[in-house]
Chains A and B, each alone.
Chain A
Amino acid sequence: MATVNYSAVWRPGAGAQWWVSGVSFDSFKEKDTDHLIMVSD
């Protein structure tokens, strides 16, 4: 199995941040809904 690697860029910013990786479509959808609700609240 190939090793997964990550590439990223960071810049100045503020406030919350969440990320996920390697999750299924359903799990991603669930996370997205969670974060949308958190922001809405």
Chain B
Amino acid sequence: MRKDGGYTGVWRPGVGEQHWVGGFDHDDFKQRDTEYFKKGLRLVAMHISNDEYTGVWRPGAGEQHWHTGLGFDEFKQKDKEYFDKGLRLITMESRYGGDGIKFMGVWRPGTGAQRWWTEGGDKFDEFKKKDLEHFNQGLRLIAFPPYGLNAIWHPGSGDQWVKFAVSLDEFKKADKEYFEQGLRLVDLSVGA
């Protein structure tokens, strides 16, 4: 397993089991996921970097599907199939593969609307417009993963604040202010 990597994590109150792995290859990750699935655990977070897989599992039930290496059209089609079956996207990633941008996604049972969006990191202004549009429709961000700009919205209410590509000091300052206002991190990612 990779031991020199830059690991990032957020902890919040919770109960029950928790398992995570980092630096696994695809086959080992799949095998571990199958083992945990049989024990009633489901992915709540997944990340791939340099073909190394990181995942977090918590107690859960019902279906779970994840796919990697999908082209945009394949990803869109897969998402539609799962949406129609009552599954919702809980996290996604995009990155350049050998022949274009490849997508990863995890789908779990869910209800209601879902929106997702993907663009390059230079499209933050477009993201802000899209986010405001969805916010006004009663949707809130449940994931804001790398690389470039990816975002997933599910039904929600209340405040929501976003910071994109800010320095560590700016992030720490924002986190302190938001924490004091009764807000907590729902997603955190680190890029270069």
What are the residues of chain B within 8 A of A23 when measuring CB–CB?
6-8
What are the residues of chain B within 8 A of A27 when measuring CB–CB?
7
Within B164-192, the residues touching A (CB, 8 Å) are 164-168, 170-171, 174-175, 178-179, 182-192
Are A25 and B2 within 8 A (Cβ)? yes
Given contacts A16-B12, A25-B7, A35-B11, 10 further A-B contacts (CB under 8 A): A5-B165, A7-B165, A10-B159, A11-B140, A11-B183, A11-B186, A17-B10, A19-B10, A21-B190, A32-B9
Query: A10 vs B91: C-alpha distance in the bound complex, in angstroms?
Result: 16
Q: Tally A-B pairs: CB < 8 A.
A: 151
What are the residues of chain B within 8 A of A16 when measuring CB–CB?
11-13
| Chain A minimum-CB-distance residue to B166 | A6
Interface size on B, residues (CB 8 A): 53
The one of B7, B18, B186 that contacts A9, using a Cβ cutoff of 8 Å: B186
Query: A34 vs B26: C-alpha distance in the bound complex, in angstroms?
Result: 29
Indicate whether B55 reaches chain A with its CB closer than 8 angstroms: no
What are the residues of chain A within 8 A of B190 when measuring CB–CB?
4-7, 21-22
12 A-B pairs whose Cβ atoms sit less than 8 Å apart in the complex: A7-B188, A10-B174, A11-B156, A12-B182, A14-B182, A17-B179, A19-B188, A23-B8, A24-B5, A25-B5, A25-B22, A32-B11
- Using known A-B contacts A16-B13, A23-B6, A25-B5, determine if residue A8 contacts B175 with beta carbons closer than 8 Å: yes
Cβ of A28 to closest chain B Cβ, rounded Å? 4
The one of A7, A11, A35 that contacts B159, using a Cβ cutoff of 8 Å: A11
Indicate whether B129 reaches chain A with its CB closer than 8 angstroms: no
What are the residues of chain A within 8 A of B186 when measuring CB–CB?
9-11, 13
Cβ of B110 to closest chain A Cβ, rounded Å? 17
